[in-house]
Amino acid sequence: MTFGARLHAAIAERGSFCVGIDPHAALLQDWGLADDVAGLERFALTTVEAVAPHVSVVKPQSAFYERFGSRGIAVLERVIADSRAAGALVLLDVKRGDIGSTSQAYADAYLDPASPLASDAITVSPFLGFGSLDPIVDTARRHDAGVFVLALTSNKEGPEVQHARVEDGGTVAGRMLDHLRHLNADAEPLGSFGAVVGATIGATTEDLAFNGPVLAPGFGAQGGTVADLRRIFGTNPAVLASSSREVLRLGPDPAAMRDFVRRTNDELRS
C-alpha cells in the first residue's frame, strides 16, 4: 500500500491526532530525568508505550535525539521500531533539504527499508527549489513512503520566503502546493505527498486542496484549536493535528497521556 492509502486507513481507525515525541531538556527535567541518554531513553520509550497503540501517527523530532550523538540515534531507532510495532505510522521530523547525491543520501537514510532509521514518511524543506526534492520523491515512490513539504509554516519568520511572489504573481507557498497537486494527481484514496501548514497561520487565500495529507503543527499548547482546523482546512479528513507538549507534560504517567490522546481524538472526530 502507498503511504497515502496507509494513512487514510490509519486515520479512519485511530483518528487524526499526531503526537510529537520531542525530548526537550526541560521536559526531561519535568519528568525528574537527567538530561542524558538514559533519561532520553526512559522518556521516549515511555511515551511510545503510552501513545503509539492509540494514534495514527507519531512524529519524533530527530534533532532532540541527534544532540546525544550515536547513542541518541540508537534511541531514535528504537522509537521508530517500537512505534511501528504498536501500529502507528512514523513521520520523522527531519526537515532535510539539499541537492543531488546528498538529497539521495537523506532519502536512503530515512525512507529505504534497509536503513535502521526507515520511517513511513519524513518532513522536508523545498526552499532550494522543489526539483531539489526529486531524489526524495522518487525514493518515496519506490518504497511506498510519504513526504511532507514545508509550505505555510506558523513561525513568524516564515512569510519572508513563503509569502514572496513568483513570476506568475502567486506565492512561493502556492507554488509548493501546486507541485504537490501535480504529484498527487489521480491518487486514490489519498496522495502520499503532503504539506506542512500551521494550525495557527490565520487566514489564507491559498488553495489547500491538493489530494494529499496535511501536517498541522501548532495545535494545542501553541494555540491552535479544532475551530482553527475547521476554518483553515474545512472538512478535509486528512489533516493531522500535531501536538507534543500538551501530551508530554502529562508524563511520566502513561495512563494520563493515553487518556488525553483518546479525548483529543474524540474531539477531532466530533
Containing 60, the helix (H) or strand (E) segment is strand 57-60
Q: Given this model, what pLDDT does residue 203 score?
A: 80
Backbone angles phi, psi at 239, to 5 degrees: -100, 120
Report pLDDT digits (tens) over 164-178: 999 999 999 999 999
Of 84, 95, 181, 245, the active-site residue reads 95
Share of the chain above pLDDT 70, in %: 100
Identify the domain containing residue 93 by its residue range: 3-269
Residue 25, all three cell numbers = 531538556
Q: Given this model, what pLDDT does residue 10 score?
A: 98
The count of structural domains within the chain is: 1
Per-residue pLDDT, averaged over 112-120, amounts to 98
Report pLDDT digits (tens) over 196-231: 999 999 888 999 999 999 999 999 877 889 999 999
Q: What's CA 201's distance to the chain center, in Å?
A: 17
Confidence label for 237 from pLDDT (cuts 50, 70 and 90): confident
Q: Given this model, what pLDDT does residue 270 score?
A: 82
Q: Given this model, what pLDDT does residue 220 score?
A: 82
Please tell me the distance from the alpha carbon of residue 85 to that of residue 207, in angstroms, as a whole number. 36
Q: Given this model, what pLDDT does residue 58 score?
A: 98
Neighbouring residues of 15: CB distance < 8 A, sequence distance ≥ 6: 55, 56, 265, 266, 268, 269
- Is the pLDDT at 102 greater than 90? The verdict is yes
| Distances from the Cα of 11 to the Cα of 6, 84, 232, angstroms | 9, 15, 19
Q: Given this model, what pLDDT does residue 202 score?
A: 83
Per-residue pLDDT, averaged over 48-77, amounts to 98
Please tell me the distance from the alpha carbon of residue 163 to that of residue 153, in angstroms, as a whole number. 11
Check which CATH number belongs to the domain holding 69 and give it: 3.20.20.70
Told to judge if 95 belongs to the known catalytic residues of this protein, a careful annotator would answer yes
Q: Given this model, what pLDDT does residue 235 score?
A: 85
Q: Which of 265, 253, 176 is nearest to 219 (CA)?
A: 265
Per-residue pLDDT, averaged over 72-81, amounts to 98
- Is the pLDDT at 8 greater than 90? The verdict is yes
DSSP secondary structure, 206-229, as one string: S---SSS-EEEETBSTTSB-HHHH
Per-residue pLDDT, averaged over 101-112, amounts to 98
Please tell me the distance from the alpha carbon of residue 1 to that of residue 114, in angstroms, as a whole number. 18
How confident is the prediction for the chain on average, in pLDDT? 96
Q: Given this model, what pLDDT does residue 222 score?
A: 77
Please return the burial class of 28, using the count of CB atoms within 10 Å of its CB with bins 0-12, 13-18 and 19+: buried
Report pLDDT digits (tens) over 183-193: 999 999 999 99
